[in-house]
Amino acid sequence: MEKGVTERVSFLCIMIASAIFSGAVIAHAIDLKRDHSIRDPTYQEALQFLFSDQTDKNQHNESYTCMNFADAFRNNALNEGYRCGYVTIEFPETSHVIVCFNTSDNGLIFIEPQNDEIVTLTTGQPYLGRIILRLSITWPIFSEFLSMLVLSFIIFQLLMTATLLAIIVYRRNHTK
């Protein structure tokens, strides 16, 4: 292969990979900006959202589980500007995922997104015919995720550029 062609092809591949990676970072940043401007709904707003949301119309099956219901409900809530948490309910043999809102005027409410029911959850008490061992709520941390994404992008770019430069210098010094 002609001298310099390999370097140009390598550089082109790195630039294409960088452009794809940059596009992914920008897309995530746009999505995270939406998530960053969310707020806790009032109790009335939560009820109105619950009534209008269509997630409960989806069919539960082996490939569309409680996690899919919770994810769809949460994404719909985010699109409306409301912060929504994932609630993991641990039972002795299994677990289940629902969602929650921390309403600004009435506190925490738990919602079963498969049927839009507002439920009461207490550790040691039954839910869905099983005793609840533990509850955990996950509120996504967007700013930390965005920072990690941008930092990994910068490190990736620097490593790829350094690798390309090292290859070019090596080939120039060791090729006749």
CA nearest 85: which of 145, 141, 30?
141
51/133 same-domain check:
yes
76/64 same-domain check:
yes
CA nearest 132: which of 100, 94, 166?
94
pLDDT band for position 175 (cuts 50, 70, 90): confident
75/161 same-domain check:
no
85/13 same-domain check:
no
**pLDDT tens by residue, 98-120:** 999 999 999 999 999 999 999 99
Q: Can you tell me which residue has the tokens 């690798």?
A: 163
Query: How many structural domains compose the chain?
Result: 2
67/130 same-domain check:
yes
pTM for this model (two decimals): 0.63
Residue 77: give the domain boundaries: 39-140
111/79 same-domain check:
yes
